[in-house]
């Protein structure tokens, strides 16, 4: 009997929510839970029905141990699952539960054919490993035979499971029918070799002797992702294929690009063996292996009575290649196992490729590498937590790991991220540093200084980021796009850096400015600029001009201050944080980010005060920047005048700067910044608050290209955007009593628990061509009304900053509860970019949300953070977050020391009821002067290195 005959009546119902149609499958007669409990005793039936649409599929992972490793049964019954395997030397792989996915080193070096999300289930290319049993029965260890596929939803579905930890992944599959169990462990070595490894192990689970023969069938695509639909066939003609030293090697003769073909040196290969044997033959050509009419899931070559693989030193060319390794047929007794290791590798020469792969071709070498890899990443994810919710603590390990993945993969190279070429955008670059500041602060200083080299003198910045730190590339396609939020992020990251480290003097470090053809904030071109001039701004005498980090920040924030539209808020131009608000370049304004520019101007003034206290009373800056300072504040209301000032300034520095320096007094500069900041705060408070008749209110954050206010209670319905609330709260534009009103409005209009919490916006019921492409997306998806993790997390962060601990926790908890419930989110542990209308986590792993989540948990929820380098404690943990001993702790790096901050809350109070009563370091009481509980950096620096120091904080 198959699942199709289950006695269940399924009704498809069209549910209408607003104008959104969601198709829902409802199980009418039995709830799935009830059915499971009835049928479960029969065991087998439970397994049989798990894949049925609408059924509770029971795909829950369990954490094992304390590293975040997890175990999940039958992940092959969840679509779109993938897992990252990579290292810091450039290998980027991903594997699905049936070992689909791909492996590459960059856009132009894909070892396997590139996959995007739909290829995960539609493609037949995978890391297939076949076992021929007793010379006839064929079994795929990954379940990728057409007959195993056909049985997936029947009683014959083979049980399989995945177990995984950072950068290592193991699948297990059994067939009771055959009496066989297969395991494939996959990893990319943390030690940096350019390989992906698989350990293949087969066990005879029957009571008779059997003969097993293993054959791998891994397509060797060996070229650029572009060629998937740009001369796919022609580029296979470049392939030179040979069998050698336990492997199949493909070295294309050239890389194909009609703008200029280039010789190719990169060699790709699949190698295999064990302690005692290598392959006995090879299937190096894909079409020979699949045979006429066959496929990779039903290969004809393996159905021959006698296999006819090629021998070593076989050579051919001009075909799609295959990593087809054929091992010796072995007789295997009951409970006995056979093991092989396969290496899929890259090399700049064939010798290098062979060297990279051959060192791993034994079980011992593989097992050592498995341990090293697991250890390396476990050590690297060095923020740890313990709260009353162990699942949260372990899930946080994955969230903390995600920023590392984004440094490796950029925003490309995982199946949903099928765009870009591995780079990260400007805002991602800065926000990813936030997580680094939590985990590995040591290298951040230089990284920040280098990143400032991407700022243009008009306050905009390079948008193409090179491979090396501090390398920015001119856009030779001349696509002019200015994102108005870009100027906001560098200050936020620098602010956190200064507080975590106390290194205020970074503001006085110098770097150059980026230069290309774009000038006047994307409105003009500098036709005098030539590529040969280089990508750095020069002065009138042709010398590269350098200014301080402070000057860069001033340039970014002051130019924005003047770049206003008809409502006197900063123009949105190409878009703001929401990339999909991209159709309002002429008249659109982003009030949301104007709030943050206000915050930055105020924050800069605060740093100047501190610098003054440290004896820095004046600053040198480019003479031109003075144009943006010391205007009569009366000008701030005069939109036309502001625009003129900006234009004049941009003209003075559009080809080069004069090189003349002005000296500005800290007091004057500070006064100027503060007056600008307060003007912004006042202006937004006066003009953008929306008072709803429902008894709550919120801030309007946008004007569209028709010059209309976007949010409010309009004729078309209620329009509210989360971003506007996040930044009005975070900046402090929203006044204290407004905090609760905003939360009430967000709860009423945006919150949906069943998809992870706060959505990005209400349904506008309009394809708003005068605001952005997001309105073309179906409602509930991506930037149009999904629960977009990045903004939902920043909402939590903003609420904590406003001391709304319970509300902040609620925002973060809703996301965690949804994402970590794999039955609903259908992802492995971690935070996805967003949760779609049906509750699925989308674009897993590579998201700025992870950095923000981590920073929020450490610095706000636990309230462990720096204040000019000293350590302060402002816990906002609510009572349910403490464990059974009324304790919670976080361990992290701070001031170069490993610290564990342990909170004790013996009376189990909430943040509004508790206060700190004592602090000890390694048992020795701290004497904190004044109200604040603070440990001076000097004290921390005295602690020995290489030890974990416990700071105990009593709450009462």
Interface residues toward ligand G1P, by CB under 6 A: 411, 425, 427-428, 577-580, 783, 790, 833, 847-849
Residues 346/267, Cβ–Cβ less than 8 Å: yes
Least distance (Å) from ligand G1P to the CB of residue 482? 15
CA-to-CA dists, residue 382 to 5, 375, 409, 602, angstroms: 51, 12, 20, 33
What burial letters (b/e) apply to 281-292, b meaning 16+ CB within 10 Å? bbbbbbebbbee
Pairing mode of beta strands 948-955, 897-904: parallel
Question: Other C-beta atoms within 10 Å of 624: how many?
Answer: 19
Between 242 and 818, whose beta carbon lies closer to ligand G1P? 818
218 three-state secondary structure: strand
Between 486 and 569, whose beta carbon lies closer to ligand G1P? 486
Measured between alpha carbons, how far apart are the two ends of the chain, in Å?
A: 63
Q: Name the DSSP letter for residue 626.
A: G
194 three-state secondary structure: coil
463 three-state secondary structure: coil
- Which neighbouring-strand residues pair with 316? 241
Residue 721 and residue 590: Cα distance in Å, rounded?
12
Between 32 and 580, whose beta carbon lies closer to ligand G1P? 580
Residue 367 and residue 360: Cα distance in Å, rounded?
9
Least distance (Å) from ligand G1P to the CB of residue 187? 26
At residue 825, what are phi and psi to the nearest 5 degrees? -85, -20
Least distance (Å) from ligand G1P to the CB of residue 425? 5
Q: Quote the tokens at residue 954.
A: 């009593």
Least distance (Å) from ligand G1P to the CB of residue 427? 5
Between 202 and 791, whose beta carbon lies closer to ligand G1P? 791
Give the CA dihedral 680, 681, 682, 684, nearest 10 degrees. Answer: 80
Between 548 and 590, whose beta carbon lies closer to ligand G1P? 590
Residue 128 and residue 245: Cα distance in Å, rounded?
21
Between 319 and 777, whose beta carbon lies closer to ligand G1P? 777
Least distance (Å) from ligand G1P to the CB of residue 469? 19
Between 793 and 822, whose beta carbon lies closer to ligand G1P? 793
Between 250 and 405, whose beta carbon lies closer to ligand G1P? 405
Least distance (Å) from ligand G1P to the CB of residue 848? 3
Residue 722 and residue 759: Cα distance in Å, rounded?
7
Residue 250 and residue 182: Cα distance in Å, rounded?
28
CA proximity to 458, closest of 487, 431, 479? 487
Between 401 and 577, whose beta carbon lies closer to ligand G1P? 577
567 three-state secondary structure: coil
417 three-state secondary structure: strand
Between 832 and 863, whose beta carbon lies closer to ligand G1P? 832
Between 59 and 849, whose beta carbon lies closer to ligand G1P? 849
Between 189 and 839, whose beta carbon lies closer to ligand G1P? 839
Residues 120/101, Cβ–Cβ less than 8 Å: yes
Least distance (Å) from ligand G1P to the CB of residue 288? 43
Question: Other C-beta atoms within 10 Å of 801: how many?
Answer: 18
At residue 587, what are phi and psi to the nearest 5 degrees? -115, -5
Residue 773 and residue 574: Cα distance in Å, rounded?
12
Residues 537/545, Cβ–Cβ less than 8 Å: yes
Least distance (Å) from ligand G1P to the CB of residue 756? 14
Least distance (Å) from ligand G1P to the CB of residue 484? 12
Between 391 and 580, whose beta carbon lies closer to ligand G1P? 580
- Which neighbouring-strand residues pair with 950? 900
Least distance (Å) from ligand G1P to the CB of residue 227? 26
Least distance (Å) from ligand G1P to the CB of residue 483? 9
CA-to-CA dists, residue 404 to 322, 379, 401, 429, 832, angstroms: 32, 13, 5, 12, 15
Give the contacts of 737 (CB within 8 A, at least 6 positions apart): none
Between 568 and 856, whose beta carbon lies closer to ligand G1P? 856
Least distance (Å) from ligand G1P to the CB of residue 438? 17
Between 580 and 635, whose beta carbon lies closer to ligand G1P? 580
Least distance (Å) from ligand G1P to the CB of residue 578? 5
How large is the C-alpha radius of gyration of the chain? 30
CA-to-CA dists, residue 656 to 513, 529, 622, 662, angstroms: 10, 9, 11, 16
CA count, 13 A, side-chain hemisphere, 407: 19
Q: Where are the alpha helices (DSSP H) in 688-735?
A: 722-731
Least distance (Å) from ligand G1P to the CB of residue 847? 3
Least distance (Å) from ligand G1P to the CB of residue 842? 10
């Amino acid at each position: 009997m198959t699942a199709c005959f289950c006695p269940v009546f399924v009704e498809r119902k069209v549910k209408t929510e607003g104008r959104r149609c969601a198709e829902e499958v409802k199980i009418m007669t039995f709830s799935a839970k009830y059915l499971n409990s009835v049928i479960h005793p029969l065991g087998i039936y439970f397994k049989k029905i798990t894949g049925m649409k609408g059924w509770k599929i029971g795909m829950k992972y369990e954490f094992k141990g304390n590293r975040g490793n997890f175990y999940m049964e039958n992940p092959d019954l969840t679509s779109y699952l993938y897992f990252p395997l990579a290292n810091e030397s450039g290998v980027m792989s991903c594997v699905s539960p049936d070992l689909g996915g791909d492996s590459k080193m960059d856009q132009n070096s894909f070892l396997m054919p590139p996959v995007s999300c739909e290829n995960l289930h539609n493609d037949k290319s995978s890391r297939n490993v076949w076992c021929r049993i007793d010379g006839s029965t064929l079994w795929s260890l990954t379940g990728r035979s057409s007959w195993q596929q056909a049985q997936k939803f029947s009683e014959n579905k083979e049980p399989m499971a995945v177990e995984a930890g950072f950068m290592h992944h193991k699948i297990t599959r059994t067939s009771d029918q055959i009496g066989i169990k297969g395991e494939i462990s996959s990893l990319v070595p943390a030690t940096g070799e350019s390989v992906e490894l698989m350990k293949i192990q087969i066990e005879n689970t029957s009571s008779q002797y059997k003969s097993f023969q293993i054959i791998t069938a891994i397509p060797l695509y060996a070229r650029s992702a572009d060629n998937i639909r740009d001369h796919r066939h022609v580029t296979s003609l470049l392939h030179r294929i040979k069998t050698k030293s336990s492997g199949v090697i493909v070295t294309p003769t050239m890389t194909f690009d009609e703008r200029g073909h280039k010789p190719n040196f990169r060699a790709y290969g699949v190698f295999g063996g064990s302690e005692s044997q290598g392959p006995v033959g090879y299937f190096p050509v894909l079409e020979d292996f699949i045979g006429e009419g066959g496929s990779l899931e039903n290969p004809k070559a393996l159905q021959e009575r006698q296999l006819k693989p090629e021998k070593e030193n076989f050579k051919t060319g001009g075909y799609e290649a295959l990593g087809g390794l054929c091992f010796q047929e072995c007789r295997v007794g009951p409970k006995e196992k056979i093991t092989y290791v396969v290496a899929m590798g890259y090399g700049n020469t064939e010798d290098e490729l062979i060297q990279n792969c051959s060192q791993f071709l034994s079980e011992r070498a593989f097992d050592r590498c498995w341990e090293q890899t697991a250890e390396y990443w476990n050590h690297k994810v060095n923020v740890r937590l313990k709260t009353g919710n162990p699942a949260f603590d372990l899930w946080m390990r994955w969230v903390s790991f995600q920023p590392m993945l984004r440094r490796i993969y950029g925003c490309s190279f995982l199946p949903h991220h099928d765009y870009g070429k591995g780079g990260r955008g400007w805002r991602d670059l800065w926000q990813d540093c936030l997580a680094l500041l939590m985990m590995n602060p040591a290298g951040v200083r230089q990284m920040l200084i280098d990143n400032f080299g991407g700022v243009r003198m008009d306050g905009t910045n390079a948008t193409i980021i090179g491979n090396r730190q501090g390398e920015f590339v001119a856009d030779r396609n001349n696509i002019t796009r200015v994102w108005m939020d870009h100027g906001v992020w560098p200050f936020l990251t620098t602010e956190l850096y200064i507080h975590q480290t106390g290194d205020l003097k970074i503001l006085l470090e110098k770097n150059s400015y980026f230069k290309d053809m774009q000038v006047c904030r994307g409105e003009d071109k500098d036709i005098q600029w030539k590529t040969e001039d280089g990508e750095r701004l020069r002065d009138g005498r042709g010398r590269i001009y350098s200014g301080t980090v402070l000057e860069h920040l001033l340039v970014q924030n002051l130019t924005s201050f003047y770049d206003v539209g008809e409502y006197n808020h900063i123009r949105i131009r190409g878009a703001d944080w929401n990339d999909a608000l991209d159709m309002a370049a002429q008249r659109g304004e982003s009030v949301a980010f104007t709030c943050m520019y206000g915050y930055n101007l105020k924050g800069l003034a605060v740093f100047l005060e501190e610098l003054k206290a440290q004896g820095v009373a004046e600053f040198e800056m480019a003479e031109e920047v003075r144009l943006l300072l010391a205007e009569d504040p009366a000008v701030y209301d005069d939109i036309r005048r502001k625009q003129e000032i900006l234009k004049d300034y941009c003209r003075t520095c559009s080809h080069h700067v004069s090189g003349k320096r002005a000296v500005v007094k800290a007091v004057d500069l500070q006064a100027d910044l503060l007056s600008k900041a307060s003007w912004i705060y006042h202006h937004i408070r006066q003009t953008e608050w929306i008072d709803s008749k429902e008894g709550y209110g919120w801030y309007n954050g946008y004007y569209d290209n028709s010059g209309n206010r976007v949010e409010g209670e309009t004729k078309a319905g209620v329009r509210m955007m989360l971003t506007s609330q996040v930044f009005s709260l975070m900046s402090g534009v929203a006044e204290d009593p407004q905090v609760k009103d905003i939360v009430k409005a967000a709860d009423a209009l945006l919150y949906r628990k069943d998809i992870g919490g706060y959505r990005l916006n209400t349904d506008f019921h309009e394809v708003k061509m005068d605001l952005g492409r997001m309105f073309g997306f179906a409602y509930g998806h991506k930037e149009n009304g999904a629960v977009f993790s990045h903004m939902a997390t920043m909402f939590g962060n903003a609420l904590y900053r406003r001391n709304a601990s319970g509300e902040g926790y609620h925002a973060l908890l809703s996301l965690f509860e949804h994402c970590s419930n794999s039955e609903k989110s259908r992802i492995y542990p971690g935070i996805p970019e967003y949760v779609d209308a049906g509750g699925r986590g989308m674009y897993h792993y590579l998201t700025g949300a992870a950095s923000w989540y981590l920073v929020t948990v450490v610095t706000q929820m636990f309230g462990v953070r720096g204040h000019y380098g000293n350590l302060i404690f402002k816990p906002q943990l609510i009572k349910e977050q403490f464990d059974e001993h009324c304790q919670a702790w976080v361990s992290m790096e701070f001031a170069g020391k490993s610290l564990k901050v342990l909170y004790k809350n013996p009376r189990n109070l909430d943040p509004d009821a508790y206060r700190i009563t004592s602090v000890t370091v390694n048992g020795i009481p701290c004497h904190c002067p004044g109200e604040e509980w603070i440990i001076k950096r000097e004290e921390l620096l005295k602690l020995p290195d290489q030890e974990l120091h416990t700071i105990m904080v009593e709450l009462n």
